[in-house]
């Protein structure tokens, strides 16, 4: 891999203006010529627009729509399920319809919501590629697509979970969902203790993307 | 052949060179049908630009970790669930 | 590893610790993602199925699969599939890639201050 890991520009984000954020693998975007594959992406998009396969407007709208998909949607479903047992039942039996009740589109693939309980801890992986509930959580993190995660989660899930700081008691079953075909998955984490008086907004702030993938549990306010 | 929830099934062992959605690690292993997901286009056809319109029943099959990996070191209750199309499943031998 | 097991089918293989890396997606990655969603919409045919995209990625073979980043694999596979289907041809894609590259103006010497 040719990325420069020692690039010095990572620590000076200036949040007052429009520059894109950098990450350690990316030098300044506007200073460098496009890579071969970046140029290919622009070229393919332009050719498809010229050929009226889709319009520039459709492309922009799709980019914006997908950027609006983020873990807040999964958190909203989770909090609703924590606070409304009937909703939880509907969410874990017909997630698409339950989500639609509160205005959330779960995307073209069927969605299965797997509930964590005192007996079972669930976690998602895709060993063949990187299937992920993008419509609820946004694009997947790099580690989810990594060889390490994809290879090891099905064979030594407890060791991988421990690398995320998650220790599952041996009395609980660890149930790994290999997302191999047409279903997509979201984990419904357990509501932590000490959250009885909290508002829905406060609860939603506790629910992280990683808890909806199943690699961590939702921490209570005291542990935060 | 159709299966019901709770049936024991075995994943057919085969190693075709083309596009398949049956992970290598579960081929030849036995598990239990967890749910029947419905009928879907055949990805092994769709991958080559064909219609895949002979729909296949998709199952979710639950495997005990100990049945997938004899040296599995965690509790014997640990499991993996995998979506598998009907033509990869057969009755246990 | 035997050749019976395909390179992308990695469940259960030995590998090192999971590095919890993430990056902010770049504009071209978001664009590539959107191209796939648009091409796979039923109202466009679909012009390309997700399974075709995956097949194209799997056929890159071990070296390229590991060398390219996630969305590099995607755009390479998309381009190949569109070429196979005759939606675009080699000549126009080659010319367009050069056109895109030629548009780039180095920022050095511009008024924009360098960050950091």
Out of A2, A6, A55, A126, pick the active-site residue.
A126
Q: Which residues of B touch A174 (CB under 8 A)?
A: 74-75, 78-79
Residue C59: what pLDDT? 95
List the alpha helices (DSSP H) in chain B.
43-46, 65-68
Report the distance separating Cα B13 and Cα B93, nearest Å. 12
Residue C106 has pLDDT above 90, yes or no: no
List, for residues B58-73, the tens digit of each pLDDT value: 999 999 999 999 999 9
List, for residues A203-221, the tens digit of each pLDDT value: 999 999 999 999 999 999 8
Residue C104: what pLDDT? 87
Q: Report CB contact under 8 Å: C12, B69.
A: yes
User: Residue A13's pLDDT band (boundaries 50, 70, 90)?
Assistant: very low
Query: For chain A, what is the mean pLDDT?
Result: 89
Residue C30: what pLDDT? 98
List, for residues B17-32, the tens digit of each pLDDT value: 999 999 999 999 999 9
Residue A29: what pLDDT? 55
Out of A129, A140, A151, A171, pick the active-site residue.
A129
Kindly provide the ipTM of the predicted complex, given to two decimals.
0.98
**Sequence-separated contacts (24+) of C85-93 with Cβ below 8 Å:** C85/B49, C85/C47, C85/C48, C87/A48, C87/A51, C87/A53, C87/C47, C88/A44, C88/A47, C88/A48, C88/A51, C92/A47, C93/A40, C93/A43, C93/A44, C93/A47
List, for residues A139-183, the tens digit of each pLDDT value: 999 999 999 999 999 999 999 999 999 999 999 999 999 999 999
pTM: 0.90
Distances A188 to A140, A207, B46, C41 between C-alpha atoms, Å: 17, 10, 32, 29
Domains of chain C in start order, with CATH, are 27-103 (1.10.472.20)
Residue C1: what pLDDT? 45
Residue A3 has pLDDT above 50, yes or no: no
Q: Is A166 on the interface with B (CB under 8 A)?
A: no
Distances A11 to A8, A118, A151, A192, A196 between C-alpha atoms, Å: 8, 41, 32, 34, 39
Chain A residue with CA closest to B26: the answer is: A154
Residue A10: what pLDDT? 36
């Amino acid at each position: 891999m040719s990325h420069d890991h020692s690039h010095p520009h990572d620590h000076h984000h200036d949040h007052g203006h429009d520059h894109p954020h950098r990450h350690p693998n990316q030098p300044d975007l506007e200073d460098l010529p496009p890579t071969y594959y970046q140029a290919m992406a622009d070229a393919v998009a332009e050719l498809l627009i010229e050929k009226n396969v889709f319009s520039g407007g459709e492309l922009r709208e799709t980019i914006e729509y997908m950027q609006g998909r983020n873990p807040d949607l999964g958190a909203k479903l989770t909090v609703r399920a924590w606070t409304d047992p009937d909703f939880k039942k509907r969410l874990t039996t017909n997630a698409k319809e339950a989500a639609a009740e509160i205005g959330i589109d779960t995307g073209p693939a069927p969605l299965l919501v797997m509930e964590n309980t005192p007996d079972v801890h669930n976690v998602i992986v895709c060993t063949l590629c990187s299937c992920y509930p993008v419509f609820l959580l946004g694009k997947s993190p790099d580690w989810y697509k990594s060889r390490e995660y994809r290879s090891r989660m099905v064979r030594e899930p407890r060791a991988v979970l421990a690398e995320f700081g998650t220790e599952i008691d041996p009395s609980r079953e660890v149930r790994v969902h290999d997302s191999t075909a047409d279903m997509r998955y979201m984990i419904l984490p357990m509501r932590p203790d000490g959250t009885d008086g909290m508002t829905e907004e406060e609860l939603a702030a506790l629910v992280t993307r990683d808890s909806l993938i199943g690699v961590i549990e939702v921490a209570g306010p005291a542990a935060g | 052949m159709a299966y019901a929830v709770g049936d024991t099934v075995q994943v057919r062992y085969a190693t075709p060179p083309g596009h398949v959605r049956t992970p290598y690690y579960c081929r030849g292993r036995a598990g239990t049908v967890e749910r029947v997901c419905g009928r879907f286009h055949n990805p092994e056809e769709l991958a080559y630009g064909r219609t895949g319109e002979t729909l296949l029943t998709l199952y979710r099959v639950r495997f005990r970790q100990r049945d997938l990996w004899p040296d599995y070191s965690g509790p014997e209750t640990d499991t993996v669930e995998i979506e598998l199309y009907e033509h990869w499943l057969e009755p246990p031998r | 590893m035997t050749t019976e097991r395909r390179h992308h089918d990695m469940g259960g293989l030995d590998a090192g610790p999971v590095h919890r890396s993430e990056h902010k997606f770049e504009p071209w990655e978001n664009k590539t993602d959107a191209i796939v969603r648009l091409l796979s919409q039923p109202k466009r045919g679909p012009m390309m199925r997700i399974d075709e995209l995956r097949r194209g990625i799997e056929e890159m073979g071990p070296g390229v699969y590991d060398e390219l980043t996630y969305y590099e694999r995607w755009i390479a596979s998309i381009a190949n599939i569109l070429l196979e289907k005759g939606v675009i041809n080699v000549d126009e894609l080659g010319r367009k890639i050069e056109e895109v590259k030629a548009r780039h103006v180095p920022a050095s010497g511009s008024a924009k201050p360098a960050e950091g």
